[in-house]
């Protein structure tokens, strides 16, 4: 499809350039008055002229035909002047594509550039963002550079583009789409650790710079007023970002770029440290470095003490606040196309000790373009956990599982104890009942005893009465005995012995006080 836009142009080349258009007649009927050698020489010269003429004529026609798509933009039109009547000639007034604050009203075209490398996992999200852009889609041309990819970035890109451009609403369809394929021999692995490791930075930044330059130089048309660079791994950005940035009417402008973090890492973090203001410390450091050295920001190896756009963010700050910067990050750059037309680019070498986007910022600044960052206008880069983060998260997961297991075990233990307590308490209830029974029994026994004791006391009274009666009888008898001499002292002594009487009484009492065992069956237990 669009990928073959240019080859279609080349296909058109032989048909349009058919040399039959011009037939220059050879001078057949000239008199043969001159000598043979002279005639042969003239014929040779004529043939050379003829071939040369044909060649240049063809060239003159072929060249404009190589770019048949250039006329599709609304700002490109054929000059009405008579000297450009040829359909294949395009005329562009580049003073019309300088870029203004309200480009959408003037139908200013934006070239959206996205370098892709192993980007397949992010394409769904990226195309979601494209669809949501509020800037008129027909004014946005898309250009992708696919390079050094080992995944299916290219085929997925095709699918996503077909889906995007199949939108039945013509206003939702984007303009021209170009896909460039070129490897830059990036050997650095694309995983987070390798990409962000200090040692890999300079080389990586240089090949990224080349990729950007190739992409831009191949895709920039005379119809473009703006160039927007956007990374595919932006997670959250306002749909109005193009208008928001454009309104500032700066030559180069970038938003602040942060990234969300898991809660255990603090919730959020500055992401793009490549947008910064120059500092005296950094300039002094740059002076000490080798001519080819490249300073990369955000690494302990280069303590530059530069004010970073990222760290100046205030979530409640004015999103329109501007800050002059020198280095720019590449996540989301809106630049006027004239900046590139004038010659600024992404240095793939050390330019003022910087390369790629940071070098581009410095170069644009050096060329007296305005370079600005918005500290309080923030877009959010995808959070990709580093190897350390992943390890930490695995540990946390393990801890979480261990804790869960522990909680479960604790609960089980508690449940068991509760069960046991329940059964114990029922045992206890039983025991209590038994104890109460025993107490009850003891009480009733006591009562019985008491009752028996009372009865015993009554009987005693009765016995005492009887004893008294007996005594009285004995006294009677004694008195009678006293009347008889002889046997009297023995009897008297025996009778006076109180112990004897007591003993008789005691024996009687003992026998009667013996408790009668109650017939309570519980007591047997
Ligand atoms: C695009 O907009 C829709 C609707 O507002 C939203 O659900 C979706 O998340 C947006 N996509 C992106 C990538 O922001």
Please state which of the four CATH numbers 3.40.1260.20, 3.90.550.10, 3.10.20.30, 3.30.230.10 is assigned to the domain occupying 97-383: 3.90.550.10
Q: Is 382 in the pocket of ligand 1 (CB under 6 A)?
A: no
| Rounded Cα distance, 342 and 236, in Å | 32
Distance 225 CA to ligand 1 centre (A): 27
pLDDT for the residue numbered 481: 55
* pLDDT tens profile 425-447: 666 667 777 777 877 877 777 77
- Tokens representing residue 359 in the block: 């070098």
Q: Is 129 in the pocket of ligand 1 (CB under 6 A)?
A: yes
Phi then psi dihedrals of residue 370, to 5 deg: -85, 130
What letters, b where the CB count within 10 A reaches 16 and e where it falls short, cover 44-68? eeeeeeeeeeeeeebeebbeebeeb
3-state secondary structure at position 331: coil
Distance 128 CA to ligand 1 centre (A): 6
Q: 298: alpha, beta or left, given left = phi > 0 and alpha = psi -120 to 50?
A: left
- Tokens representing residue 513 in the block: 């006080």
pLDDT for the residue numbered 298: 72
| Rounded Cα distance, 231 and 251, in Å | 20
pLDDT for the residue numbered 171: 86
Closest to 287 (Cα-Cα) out of 235, 384, 197, 353:
353
| Rounded Cα distance, 366 and 351, in Å | 11
pLDDT for the residue numbered 235: 97
Query: For 16-21, which contacts have Cβ atoms below 8 Å and span 24 or more sequence positions?
Result: 16/61, 16/62, 16/65, 16/88, 17/58, 17/61, 17/62, 17/65, 19/54, 19/58, 21/61
| Rounded Cα distance, 21 and 313, in Å | 66
Question: pLDDT band for position 309 (50/70/90)?
Answer: very high
pLDDT for the residue numbered 376: 97
- The residue-averaged pLDDT of 288-315 equals 89
- Say which residues have a Cβ less than 8 Å from residue 415's Cβ, sequence separation at least 6: none
Strands in 315-443 per DSSP E: 323-324, 332-336, 371-381
* pLDDT tens profile 123-146: 999 999 999 999 999 999 999 999
Q: Atom 10 of ligand 1 has which residue's CA nearest to it?
A: 128
| Rounded Cα distance, 358 and 363, in Å | 9
Best residue among 121, 122, 124, 128 to mutate for probing ligand 1's pocket (most ligand atoms within 8 Å of CB) is 128
Q: Is 238 in the pocket of ligand 1 (CB under 6 A)?
A: no
Q: Is 128 in the pocket of ligand 1 (CB under 6 A)?
A: yes
Q: Choose between 430 and 183: higher pLDDT.
A: 183
Which of 107-116, 147-156, 258-267, 377-386 is most confident? 107-116
Distance of CA 180 to CAs 63, 143, 163, 307, 335, Å?
22, 8, 19, 36, 21
Written as one string, the DSSP assignment of 129-186 is HHHH--S-GGGEEEEEEE-S--SSHHHHHHHHHHHHHT-SSGGGS-S-EEEEE-----
Distance 131 CA to ligand 1 centre (A): 8
pTM passes above 0.85: no
Q: Which helix (H) or strand (E) holds 308?
A: none
- Say which residues have a Cβ less than 8 Å from residue 293's Cβ, sequence separation at least 6: 202, 350, 353
- Tokens representing residue 273 in the block: 């440290």
CA 125 to chain centre: 13
Domain coordinates in residue numbering, the chain: 2-84, 97-383, 400-524
Q: Is 125 in the pocket of ligand 1 (CB under 6 A)?
A: yes
Q: How long is the chain?
A: 525
Radius of gyration of the chain (CA): 56
Closest to 112 (Cα-Cα) out of 70, 141, 75, 138:
141
> Could you tell me what percentage of the chain is helix, strand and coil, using 3-state DSSP and rounding each to the nearest 5?
55, 15, 35
Distance 378 CA to ligand 1 centre (A): 17
Distance of CA 333 to CAs 112, 115, 230, 327, Å?
10, 13, 7, 12
Closest to 222 (Cα-Cα) out of 109, 386, 82:
109
């Amino acid at each position: 499809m669009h990928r073959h836009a240019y080859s279609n142009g080349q296909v058109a080349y032989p048909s349009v350039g058919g040399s039959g258009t011009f037939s220059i007649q050879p001078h057949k009927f000239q008199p043969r008055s001159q000598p043979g050698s002279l005639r042969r020489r003239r014929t040779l010269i004529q043939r050379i002229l003829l071939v040369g003429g044909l060649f240049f004529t063809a060239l003159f026609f072929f060249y404009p035909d190589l770019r048949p798509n250039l006329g599709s933009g609304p700002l490109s039109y054929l000059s009405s002047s008579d000297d450009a009547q040829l359909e294949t000639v395009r005329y562009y007034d580049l003073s019309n594509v300088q870029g203004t604050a309200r480009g959408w009203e003037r139908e200013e075209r934006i070239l959206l550039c996205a370098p892709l490398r192993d980007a397949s996992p992010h394409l769904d999200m990226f195309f979601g963002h494209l669809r949501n852009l509020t800037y008129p889609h027909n004014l946005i041309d898309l250009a992708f550079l696919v390079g050094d990819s080992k995944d299916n970035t290219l085929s997925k890109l095709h699918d996503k583009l077909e889906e995007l451009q199949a939108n039945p609403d013509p206003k939702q369809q984007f303009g021209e789409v170009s896909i460039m394929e070129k490897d830059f021999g990036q050997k650095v692995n694309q995983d987070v650790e390798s990409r962000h490791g200090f040692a890999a930075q300079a080389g990586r930044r240089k090949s990224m710079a080349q990729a950007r330059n190739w992409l831009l130089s191949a895709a920039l048309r005379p119809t473009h007023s703006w160039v927007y660079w956007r990374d595919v791994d932006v997670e959250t950005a306002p749909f109005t970002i193009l208008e928001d940035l454009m309104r500032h009417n700066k030559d180069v402008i970038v938003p602040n770029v942060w990234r969300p973090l898991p809660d255990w890492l603090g919730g959020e973090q500055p992401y793009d440290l490549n947008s910064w203001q120059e500092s005296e410390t950094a300039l002094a450091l740059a002076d000490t470095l080798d001519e080819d050295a490249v300073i990369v920001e955000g690494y302990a190896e280069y303590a530059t003490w530069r004010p970073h756009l990222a760290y100046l963010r205030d979530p409640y700050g004015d999103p329109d606040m501007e800050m002059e910067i020198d280095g720019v990050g590449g996540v989301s750059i809106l630049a006027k196309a004239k900046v590139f037309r004038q010659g600024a680019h992404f240095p793939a070498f050390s330019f003022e000790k910087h390369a790629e986007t940071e070098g581009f910022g410095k170069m644009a600044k050096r060329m007296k373009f305005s370079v600005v960052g918005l500290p309080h206008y923030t877009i959010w880069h995808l959070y990709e956990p580093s190897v350390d983060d992943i390890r930490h998260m695995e540990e946390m997961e393990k801890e979480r599982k261990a804790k869960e297991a522990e909680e479960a075990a604790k609960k089980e233990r508690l449940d068991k104890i509760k069960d046991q307590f329940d059964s114990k308490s029922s045992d206890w209830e039983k025991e209590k009942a038994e104890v109460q029974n025993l107490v009850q029994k003891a009480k009733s026994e006591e009562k019985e005893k008491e009752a028996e004791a009372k009865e015993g006391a009554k009987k005693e009274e009765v016995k005492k009465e009887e004893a008294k009666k007996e005594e009285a009888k004995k006294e009677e008898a004694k008195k009678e005995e006293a009347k008889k001499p002889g046997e009297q002292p023995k009897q008297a002594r025996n009778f006076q012995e109180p112990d004897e009487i007591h003993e008789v009484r005691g024996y009687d009492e003992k026998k009667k006080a013996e408790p009668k065992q109650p017939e309570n069956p519980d007591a047997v237990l």
